[in-house]
Chain A
Amino acid sequence: MSTIAETASRAQTRRRVRVDGWRWGGRIFLVFMLLYTAVPMIWMLITSIKSGFAATQFPPQWWPDEPTLASYQKLLDPQNSVGQDFLRFFWNSLFVSTATTILSVIVAVPAAYAFSRFSFPGRNFLFFTVLLRNMFPAVIFLVPLFILMRAIGLVNTHGSLILTYLTFGLPLAIWLLKGFYDNIPVQLEQAARIDGATRFQAFILIVMPLSTPGIIATAIYSFIGAWNEYIYAYTFLSKNEQLTLPVGIQRFFSENTTDFPGLMAASFMMSVPVVVLFLVLQRYFVRALTEGAVKH
């Protein structure tokens, strides 16, 4: 009995040791990555609850002696000018990003479906030219697009940004969604059409619900792209009341004294919508919605 148990436990130990080398290596790597991404965020959060004096001290206070929410109160207070500016920038960003997201979903969904399901002359050519825009650095288009926007009278409007962000986001959105549609068996639509649906109904009732994860991924992608964009917003908009958050924060805090806690509080609040969006929608990413549709 005892010998058997000993042999077994020894074998177990040996096996565990061999596997553990890799597993621990992986864990250490992941911890390192976590620190790399989390520490700046944590530092942002800590700084945002310091007083202006404490933020510039050296050696730094790892945890503020007198934590305060004063920066947040100031930013969210519509009574003072800082709060008014911040809230206006916030709404501007929200408007531009939401509009970009909705438009890009409206355009990308049917486009991706068409690329996936229909064969028409020039399909492959079109499909790759869609990517052409993404083959160049964004700055290259800055001046041409500015001239174009001026010519059509869109400079200093949010429309110029929405249009520009669409040209950034759409190509990848279309590619991403096409992948989703390629993976939805065509027989599902055929079954629906035989069951009495028109082609459009089959798309709306059967295919669209199945591509929800793709549509959500596309939406998040477009939203974040538009929400964080700086250079175009900086170039196309000059009136203070139109600025979006990235430009607004930068301009505001470089014009005033360098108020680090205020800057960090603003940055933190700017990242809140993105995080919330992810937390709410992430479960749709993981679900394999077409499971059980067809037998392979």
Chain B
Amino acid sequence: MAHVVLKDLVKAYGGFKAVNDVSLTVNDGEFVALVGPSGCGKTTTLNLVAGLIPVTSGDIVIGDRVVNDLDPKDRDIAMVFQNYALYPQKSVYKNLAFPLQMRRLPREEIDRKVKEAARVLDMTHLLERKPRELSGGQQQRVALGRALVRDPAVFLMDEPLSNLDAKLRVQMRSEIKRFHQDLKATIIYVTHDQLEAVTMADKMAVMNGGNLQQYDSPAQVFAHPVNMFVASFIGSPAMSLIPLTASTANGSTVLTGAEGWSLELSPHNARKVARATTKKVVLGARHSTIKLHKSAVPGAIPAKAYTVEPTGDVTFVQALLSGAIVNISVSPNVAVAPDEQIWLEFDQERTHLFDGETEMALKAD
């Protein structure tokens, strides 16, 4: 196992920077998820680490070697592809044996390692089959087996679960997590599904437009998103972002909505707003931090229910507020009808405030 360091990594196609100045360190044995929407540069970053495409500038370090100019085969990595990329003409056994044959291991050792990997992944009975004779989940397992049979320094995984059906995905998610815990493997895992990143990774690197937005533990990213993009990308349903106008009078700071209502801020939040570059401030609140009242309460803001989505455990209510849709979760025994008048109370300890101009999170100090 080894650590991986990306230093000022850039990949440009003509004038377009697919990966723009990304720096991060993956510690030995760490599970890092690269997460972001389509086209954010996460897969490109992974391919750069794998050596499948050349870097434009910057350095990639695996272990203690700068690997920029090394062939993929010399980087001591293994990769699991989104579409598995199993060799269709080879049996499962030969698929697993291929990386070992390429390293000219003795035949007995290859046989031992292949059988060991097959045992770990519970597919000994599949060894003689061809990939086309396997189910999607089994193919996925073979792809994983081909990566782990070789005991590489770093595992790279490119959306390995996105082609599985929902049930299998949840199951394989915990299997990969278990696999990481057992092997203490260094894993870089690309996904567009923030839930996968949050549930599996030690750290997550949120990317957008080729730029690294935030690199921290899922809990930190969830609790302290650095900007509006991260805030809206992580968490489901997404954090509600309500554009408001800040004003100060008689020593107290007030946020005013488009409908004319106003919200007096706590001193802590007022200090944050004081640091904004503009009067435009965006209030961010997750669904669980907003309280829904069916009658007027001091400090609560009037709104109209827009849609109501019961999910069984919890009911999500959407309301329109200052031009934004606000998500609120309520207990399923609270009956709310669309277009019903409701009042929303924000938990100021847990709300987020963003600069309306720079979209960066506002901090108190």
Contacts and interface: CB of A to CB of B under 8 A. Distances in A.
Interface of A: 185, 187-188, 190-198, 201, 206, 209-210, 289-296
Contact of B81 (A190, A289, A291, A292): A190
Of the candidates A190, A193, A196, the one having the most CB atoms from chain B within 10 angstroms of its own CB is A196
Given A192-B98, A295-B83, A295-B163, A198 B71 contact: yes
B83 A296 contact: yes
Given A294-B85, A295-B83, A295-B136, A193 B52 contact: yes
Interface string B119-146: 0000000000011111010010000001
Interface stretch (B72-80, B174-182, B211-219, B277-285): B72-80
Contact of A194 (B77, B89, B130): B77
A209 B89 contact: yes
Contact of B83 (A197, A201, A294): A294
28 contacts: A185-B83, A187-B83, A190-B52, A190-B79, A190-B81, A190-B85, A191-B79, A191-B146, A194-B52, A194-B77, A194-B78, A195-B73, A195-B99, A195-B102, A195-B150, A196-B99, A196-B102, A197-B73, A289-B89, A290-B88, A291-B88, A292-B130, A292-B133, A293-B83, A294-B83, A294-B85, A295-B136, A295-B139
Given A190-B52, A192-B98, A195-B102, A293 B85 contact: yes
How extensive is the interface on chain B, given as a class? Answer: 20 to 34
B131 to A, nearest CB: 4
B100 to A, nearest CB: 8
B88 A190 contact: no
A293 B83 CA distance: 8
A210 B50 CA distance: 24
A121 B78 CA distance: 32
Contacts of A206: 87
A294 B73 CA distance: 21
B209 to A, nearest CB: 24
Contacts of B139: 292, 295
B112 interface: no
A82 to B, nearest CB: 48
Nearest to B47: A190
A156 B132 CA distance: 53
B103 interface: yes
Contacts of B77: 194
A289 B131 CA distance: 11
A293 B72 CA distance: 21
A193 B81 CA distance: 13
B102 A197 contact: yes
A210 B89 contact: yes
Nearest to A184: B88
A5 B109 CA distance: 67
B85 A196 contact: no
Contacts of A191: 79, 81, 85, 87, 146
Of the candidates A194, A210, A293, the one having the most CB atoms from chain B within 10 angstroms of its own CB is A194
Contacts of A293: 83-88, 131
A210 B88 CA distance: 8
Contact of A190 (B50, B130, B163): B50
A188 B134 CA distance: 17
A194 to B, nearest CB: 5
B10 to A, nearest CB: 20
A181 to B, nearest CB: 15
Nearest to A212: B89
Of the candidates B71, B82, B163, the one having the most CB atoms from chain A within 10 angstroms of its own CB is B71
Interface string B78-119: 110111111111000000001100110000000000000000
Interface in B45-87: 50-52, 71-73, 75, 77-79, 81-87
Interface string B20-49: 000000000000000000000000000000
B214 to A, nearest CB: 29
B79 A292 contact: no
Given A190-B50, A295-B84, 18 more contacts: A185-B83, A187-B81, A188-B85, A194-B50, A194-B72, A194-B75, A194-B78, A195-B146, A195-B150, A196-B103, A197-B102, A198-B73, A210-B89, A289-B88, A290-B88, A292-B139, A295-B83, A295-B139
